Structure 1
């Protein structure tokens, strides 16, 4: 038997053995990323849809202080976001046979001055406005990722753990009371999301206890995590280090959230998942950045579709399968990071890549087979 046949059979053996139960697929995270996942052509009167696994939910982002991205489009260099546009889009409605998509909303509050103002009550009106908006879509289930990636070094406003907790609780309480006063059935769930990033630990040179940010059982409906790096890989730049901080992988940090969620009897949402450093359209990977593997954007390594699949997608799906009783939602980021100004090397200092499934026929095929054959809505 040839090596190629052996590798191919190994892939399909993995496909057969995976029986992921009751996972829901979400797609994001800007308007174009969502639209291009569904459509072959953008301006064809909704006639040509890709034959991809149908998600049950979509991902967008808002600013809690101004509610930017909620009712009107906003683009801060990472693509246009508008929750209302997505929920009202006629093509998406037609695609889903008029069954509303659920919506995961990243609720941004990473501003040290304004988060303190929120804690002090200055943004109660905005939180109530958010509640009133959510109530206008009673058949949509909203997953509110309040202060997402709370433990990330890049989210300075959340370093004050007590302030973060109070802000989370205040948003939750005002939303709850708003619904109770109007006797409205609650159609939103709170998501408490860690960054679960080994790069974060390396940047800070310490291992944090995510429980220090926990708002409490009655405030958290879902625990959440991010998955950007290749599953079991540790920082190649520090391969010979004896520092335990450098020995942590994407999977080991994700496991910490799984253990925490199981202890708290909470379901888990993989809120952000993308193969960082990989370019699916160009079939290569590059260095992500100096805290991980070297100078960002250097060291181009050409790869086959199967190599990309085995390096990133295979351990990702295996992790989901292993934790299928806990992980209930998986949100994939399907976008060309390289084209967005916020994620360029000069702006972000790291290399992101191109994670669009539709840009490679083989990855598209395996993605579709994996989800269609093994996931249930």
Structure 2
């Protein structure tokens, strides 16, 4: 049977589907409607409401079993999510969509075909978006909090990709995202969860700290990506523990012991190392997704901090941090929203790799 690959060569400078041209990187903002902004109240005080440069992509989430937040609005105590509203919003007409697909405790059902109807529904919905879509299947697969069984995870991942190929969902690429989390206490053998080169388009990771351990874990992930010749997406990133509004840093586990910080100090301690690491590894890191949210205001992440202390990572809430952010993303290497963005990413893709 001929199937459409989710891995397509679009130019000599673009080795993976929807990879930015050489020496350029795509900026994505997430991860809920309030964070990105541009909607009616209460979601009208986010990134695009304060930053004139619209992002090249936006992040949203859904779960495979119910596909909540895809066609209808859902709030799981961490902000409103509604992918269709993003697609229908003219502000994001020239932004790609990045979807985090939750599969915790669903991977076995997906692998044995029980969720084929949902996979088909998701694929058909993605097709009608008529834009590049990056699907993070079972994101942070190695995170202990997700407890994904490696074999079931791989089988579910492969089945979803196979079904998408049968449906010819050519505007979607898959992202295999590790957590690269220092809180795990050890470096996981991420290869145990790897479905195989023929099923993975992009490799992704999360970055919330700037510690030596964070760098070590990410170095290992990038080495894996280079070995497998895959481009990399920073799928989730934010300065955990910092509050850009209150200008403080707290203990990331309990939210105690606040330390006052100047905007310049916050930038120097988290943002500068973050962007420096990306620049150092620009040969493989091609997309960067930043989470621009007041974590402390959301029930899931706020007090009593059952999931750790996150703070407030909105870049627009402090004028000095906002200025430094704008200076950074205004560099021509960053791809933001533009009428030619999709074309520059090689969309629409017309060819396939028959198998």
Q: TM-score of the superposition, structure 1-length normalised?
A: 0.79
Determine which of 81, 101, 106 is the counterpart of 2:100: 106
Q: Which residue does the alignment assign to 1:223?
A: 203
Is 1:149 aligned to residue 140 of structure 2? yes
Given the superposition, is the C-alpha separation of residues 215 and 70 from structure 1 closer, same or farther in structure 2, using an over 3 Å criterion?
A: same
Q: Which residue does the alignment assign to 1:35?
A: 37
The SS at the match of 1:62 is: strand
Runs of 4+ deviating beyond 4 Å: 38-44
Residue 373 of structure 1 and its aligned partner are, at CA, apart by 2.1
- Could you list the per-position Cα deviations for residues 249-290 of structure 1 after superposition, in whole angstroms to 9, with x for gaps in the alignment? 21111111111101101000000000000000000010001x
Q: Which residue does the alignment assign to 2:77?
A: 77
Q: Which residue does the alignment assign to 2:50?
A: 50
Residue correspondence of structure 1 range 197-346 to structure 2 within 5 A: 197-200=181-184, 202=185, 206-229=186-209, 231=210, 233-234=211-212, 249-289=213-253, 296-346=254-304
- Could you list the per-position Cα deviations for residues 147-200 of structure 1 after superposition, in whole angstroms to 9, with x for gaps in the alignment? 0000001002x1x21111001111111111111xxxx6x000000000001111
Looking at structure 2, the residues matched to 262 and 42 of structure 1 have their Cα atoms a distance apart, in angstroms, of 39
Looking at structure 1, the residues matched to 226 and 118 of structure 2 have their Cα atoms a distance apart, in angstroms, of 33
Residue 374 of structure 1 and its aligned partner are, at CA, apart by 5.1
Conserved? CA contact 1:25–1:57, under 8 Å: yes
Is 1:23 aligned to residue 15 of structure 2? no
Q: Which residue does the alignment assign to 1:170?
A: 159
Looking at structure 2, the residues matched to 250 and 65 of structure 1 have their Cα atoms a distance apart, in angstroms, of 32
Q: Give the structure, 1 or 2, with the largest relative contact order (CA under 8 Å, sep 6 or more).
A: 2
The SS at the match of 1:354 is: coil
Residue 107 of structure 1 and its aligned partner are, at CA, apart by 0.3
Given the superposition, is the C-alpha separation of residues 24 and 279 from structure 1 closer, same or farther in structure 2, using an over 3 Å criterion?
A: same
Residue 135 of structure 1 and its aligned partner are, at CA, apart by 1.2
Given the superposition, is the C-alpha separation of residues 39 and 83 from structure 1 closer, same or farther in structure 2, using an over 3 Å criterion?
A: closer
Q: Which residue does the alignment assign to 2:177?
A: 193
Looking at structure 2, the residues matched to 359 and 371 of structure 1 have their Cα atoms a distance apart, in angstroms, of 17
Given the superposition, is the C-alpha separation of residues 354 and 39 from structure 1 closer, same or farther in structure 2, using an over 3 Å criterion?
A: farther
> Considering only CA atoms, is the larger Rg found in Structure 1 or Structure 2?
1
Residue 53 of structure 1 and its aligned partner are, at CA, apart by 3.4
Conserved? CA contact 2:255–2:305, under 8 Å: no
Looking at structure 2, the residues matched to 281 and 58 of structure 1 have their Cα atoms a distance apart, in angstroms, of 23
Determine which of 104, 118, 128 is the counterpart of 2:120: 128
Q: Structure 2 unaligned segments of length 5 or more: list them.
A: 1-21, 336-355
Looking at structure 1, the residues matched to 69 and 112 of structure 2 have their Cα atoms a distance apart, in angstroms, of 24
Looking at structure 1, the residues matched to 163 and 216 of structure 2 have their Cα atoms a distance apart, in angstroms, of 35
Q: Structure 1 unaligned segments of length 5 or more: list them.
A: 1-19, 94-98, 235-248, 290-295
Conserved? CA contact 1:335–1:356, under 8 Å: yes
Looking at structure 2, the residues matched to 276 and 26 of structure 1 have their Cα atoms a distance apart, in angstroms, of 18
Given the superposition, is the C-alpha separation of residues 161 and 43 from structure 1 closer, same or farther in structure 2, using an over 3 Å criterion?
A: closer
Looking at structure 1, the residues matched to 58 and 150 of structure 2 have their Cα atoms a distance apart, in angstroms, of 29
Q: TM-score of the superposition, structure 2-length normalised?
A: 0.84
